[in-house]
Structure 1
Amino acid sequence: MVEHGGRARGVMPLRAEPLPLRFQIGARTLGSIERRLVRVSLSLDAIIAGAQPALPPLGRGDDGYLVTSLPAAGLDALLRGAGGMIGYVRQRYPRHYADLTIGFAAYQAALSGNTRSGLKRKTKRVIELSGGALDVRRFRTAAELGDFHAVARGISQRTYQERLLGGGLPDDAAFVRAMTEQAAADQVRAWLLYVAGEPAAYLYCPIAGGTVRYDHVGHDPAFNDLSPGGVLMLEAMRDLYAEPGLRRFDFTEGDGQHKRSFATAGVACVDLLLLRPTLANRATIAALEAFDRGALWAKRAVARLGLERVARRVRR
């Protein structure tokens, strides 16, 4: 998330663009409705400070805004000042982060006992399969990041995030150029984990103002039983705690077990749709609300019946 000069700290207003509002269960998209929206995101610093986003003017054909990671404490104030626009909270979650100033020993102590024991067991198994040593490779310079990208793309192509969500490690020219520029400015860190000589997991993290951002992560599903992403995450955190000048690790928008396991704190946030009160937009919100309510009911039913493992297979 990027700061924009002249506006609220940590806010980056963009021009409106067609954005799909997805009817989604897990990784599977069942359908979508497209609206022209200005996406407004807040940086972790702005969220912790409780900043309110400054919403840029809408064009004639624009439908509204998608405000992501809005601090929940500021929701009512934003709605009151929305000038008759209609709001719908699509998602609630903590914006997870880890304090990188406390030292690695204190960080490990802050993890749950189950997380620590599980990581110890998985790491031991990975070491055994890798001939007695943990094979983590680290990348920082522009030349090194080129090597990282080639290998990580191979892993990314096999992940469900890329196959089903289009959320893998990008390979377009703009991303590669930005990666190279960030590396030249010493503003990116990346890691690969190998298991028995095979690339198993990657992690790519830009750095801005002392905040390390959890931008791209993935692992080869062939290694699912080893939890290679968790093993690699702990080693990356070990490296970051040893590096001076870093303040926080930002797990970015959305919730998830992995983020909850490795974070030390979080701020309650919402993703808010804020739309002009047209008939089409009212119908859009009604459809999203009905779908989200049904998905929540189904999730609770699955948990009540103990079918979580089956549901995970269906979602992917």
Structure 2
Amino acid sequence: MPLPLRFQLGARTLASIQRQLVRVPLSLDEAIEGRLPQLPPLDRAAHGYQITSLPEDRRDAMALAGGGMIAFVRQHYTRHYVDLTIGHDAYLKALSSNTRSGLGRKARKVTAVSGGELDIRRFRTPDEMTAFHDVARRISLRTYQERLLGEGLPDDPDFLRTMYRLAAADSVRGWLLYIAGEPAAYLYCTIDSGTARYDHVGHDPAFSDLSPGGVLQMEALRDLFGAALKRFDFTEGDGQHKRQFATHGVPCIDMLLLRASLANRLTTMALGGFDRAAGFGKKATAKLGLEKLAKKVRR
């Protein structure tokens, strides 16, 4: 499929190079077990593979499996997850005292603004998911994920068909947080082989000062601890929100394996140079104490 290789700062894409790539994503189980994925045959028009959530210690083995292709690591991160088998009480004890008190304070603040009740609504059946999607989609339109990344809650026919099929099999969940009667945040998760996935999430920026995403995440996890599941998977990528709620993590990389052409070599040189410059800028921003300003610029 055509996949853009982005020159990206936070949520802002400054430029991109289009390549025909075969995406090879590893599941959480595969990442935990350290499996090396099987590479499907490449079509003649394809430039290579995009491998996501590859365990970091499998980097050299994956490059060797590429058989002379250009191996380029685009991203290092921890794939975070929550062990849902430990029980909700044990989970709360595993969180830091600062995290527990902070989440409690945020929940009380939202409750106070909402007239004394924390208004969380749960959805799972096909009819319920219709109602969920209508409201969540309106929230999504206002999020930076939708505006800048094009990664909001989808509304195309394929997504909706899949959502209804999963709902009929009891393999999808949706949550909405209302604040003072207004929809403020949503979370959409699919369930496969005992693992709930953090697929789509967002909140209305008008409520950002109340941290609606964190409040909703805690209540969703409370529900999932009672659902006889194994894990909650925060999927690819790092972030403070994921680190705050996770109990475990797997060091991972996203790797490109590209055909050994001049164009692809120049592409990886450009991406590498940009990534190094972005990393230097991030360190300088942190050193100068400008993280909040940088976050606003990126979004």
TM-score range with shorter-chain normalisation?
over 0.9
- Bigger relative CO (Cα 8 Å, ≥ 6 apart): 2
Map 1:39-54 onto structure 2 (within 5 A).
39-54=23-38
Aligned to 1:214, the other structure's residue is in SS state strand
User: 1:262 corresponds to which residue?
Assistant: 245
Map 1:1-316 onto structure 2 (within 5 A).
17-244=1-228, 246-316=229-299
Structure 1 residue 153: Cα displacement: 0.5
Distance 2:298 2:65 in 1: 38
Distance 1:101 1:119 in 2: 22
TM-score w.r.t. structure 1 length? 0.94
Structure 1 residue 156: Cα displacement: 0.3
Q: Which amino acid aligns with 2:55?
A: P
Distance 2:81 2:21 in 1: 28
Distance 1:253 1:117 in 2: 28
Distance 2:210 2:97 in 1: 18
Cα distance per residue 1:256-314 (max 9 Å; x no partner): 01111111000010000111110000000000000000000000000011111110111
RMSD, matched Cα: 0.7
Q: Which amino acid aligns with 1:309?
A: K
Distance 1:80 1:152 in 2: 44
Structure 1 residue 115: Cα displacement: 1.5
Distance 1:82 1:136 in 2: 48
Larger deviation: 105-114 or 161-170? 105-114
Q: Which amino acid aligns with 1:143?
A: D
Structure 1 residue 81: Cα displacement: 2.2
Structure 1 residue 234: Cα displacement: 0.3
Q: Which amino acid aligns with 2:133?
A: H
Distance 1:89 1:167 in 2: 23
Structure 1 residue 113: Cα displacement: 1.9
Distance 1:61 1:205 in 2: 34
TM-score w.r.t. structure 2 length? 0.99
Cα distance per residue 1:170-199 (max 9 Å; x no partner): 011111111011001000111000000000
Distance 2:36 2:128 in 1: 39
Cα distance per residue 1:81-102 (max 9 Å; x no partner): 2111111100001110000000
Percent of paired sites with the same residue: 66
Aligned to 2:254, the other structure's residue is in SS state strand
Q: Which amino acid aligns with 2:78?
A: P
Aligned to 2:25, the other structure's residue is in SS state strand
Distance 1:144 1:61 in 2: 43
Distance 2:136 2:278 in 1: 33
Structure 1 residue 76: Cα displacement: 0.8
Structure 1 residue 218: Cα displacement: 0.4
Structure 1 residue 80: Cα displacement: 1.7
Gaps of 5+ in 1: 1-16
User: How many pairs were matched up?
Assistant: 299
Structure 1 residue 242: Cα displacement: 1.4
Deviation >6 Å, runs of 4+: none
Distance 1:214 1:109 in 2: 22
Structure 1 residue 112: Cα displacement: 1.9
